[in-house]
Structure 1
Amino acid sequence: MRSRGGGKARLGQFPAEREEHIDQWIDEGPVREEAEQAVQRARPARANNFELDSEVRDRVNAAVRSPQRAAKLRQRLLGAFVALERERYTEARRIGNQLAREMSGVAAVHELIGLSNYRLGEWRKAAAALERAQTLHPDPDTMPILMDSLRALGRHKDVAEVWKELRQASPAHEILAEGRIIMAGSFSDQGELADAIKEMQPARSKPKRVREHHLRQWYMLADLLDRAGDTVGAVRFFEQIAKADSGYVDVHQRLRALGR
């Protein structure tokens, strides 16, 4: 599902070297693709013209006494997010770990480390860093990525807890959609297809204007219905996707497989 990658506002990505140890991922289905959309979205509109957003600048300034040192660390943090944006994940993580020694109380530093580890497939390290970032400064934008990291580790109760926090935060519709898809995926991982489908019920409504996050939710719902043996329901949503975007991922192959 058309995903790229990114870091927060901060910016971030180069297919960097993979670490020798990669935590085992549960599956590579639509939920993983959804979470990668979340990584892209975690680069919010706060980053303009390759500058840190004002909130992050203020937090760095508050954490470092020397104005000169703070200015240098801000530039290093910005450079790390640029590296993340350009897919140089190992470099971004290395800089992030160095910055954490002096700015352990700055959420953006831990977010950088978490996003880098996520892209490197280091789910355990990603979850730890993103949990730390959320503790320091709750941010709905990165909650779906934290949820997906926890899901990859089989920490389904924690996935549900973060999902609850995300809903309470009343985030943008696309971020809520990302969280919903990952929560449904968590149920699916546990063999609870009925609960997964129930979680996706809000996606059944057809909006006046179809956006990307609607397509992603319909795809997840159609996939779940197909796996649950509800061919009619699966066809309905795959056809709904095809009508809105005929070139959307493998929707035509899925319809052919269902005899349409």
Structure 2
Amino acid sequence: MRTLVIIPTYNERENIGPIVGRVRVSVPDADILIVDDDSPDGTGEIADALAATDAQIHVMHRAGKDGLGAAYRDGMRWALDVGFDRIVEMDADGSHRPEQLPSLLAALRDEDGGPGADVALGSRWVAGGDVVNWPAHRRLLSRGGSLYSRAALGIPARDVTGGYRAFTAEALRSIHFDDVESQGYCFQIDMLRRAYRAGLAVAEVPITFVEREHGASKMTGAIVAEAMLRVTGWGITGLPQRLRRHPAPVEVSGSAQRA
């Protein structure tokens, strides 16, 4: 099973080296694709230097800051073209702990198509999940966004907006991710909405989300507004589909995690 971890970057020079190192230790067999949006702080050059010393690190340079969704779409397209079997979304800032990646991957189907999920969500809001160093308003925004999306779209997952996820290659093909136009906060909602619409099996794996120590958050009011508008629109146009009952996501207990 070939695994690729996609890490989008924009001005993450202080974070990219440590996060890549932790991924390589946690999942030594995995490859890493850094998708850099022409970071003015030199993140792309640091990524190139990392790739020059490790054949399992790859770098994609994009012309400018075009949004998280576009970066993931380009990375996913490359992953499928190259032939990876499992594709992971991960932030560069350390908020997604690489040490929990083995648990996320373990929740996916194996290469023989045996029991397991098509999509594994790193979930902050299931038993065993947690958030560290977040102010109250960020917790409210995240939990409120998930609750509103669940209600509007009929999605049973508890963490709808989280960005730490693993997909099988077949799941990505089923989702038709190239058609996803959403960016930022809303990209994750759109991908999960499509996964349920495609009838995919979704598992929620508890994670501990840790607020970044270096750099600035990319969350903006425009990103939140896009999510609210799109989710509301999908909720209205998708009322017939909401009458169908989606299979509930499988929660993986915290005790089953590997450190």
TM-score by length of 2: 0.31
Bigger-Rg structure (1/2)? 1
TM-score by length of 1: 0.31
The structure that is strand-richer by fraction is 2
The structure that is helix-richer by fraction is 1
Higher relative contact order (CA 8 A, sep 6+): 2
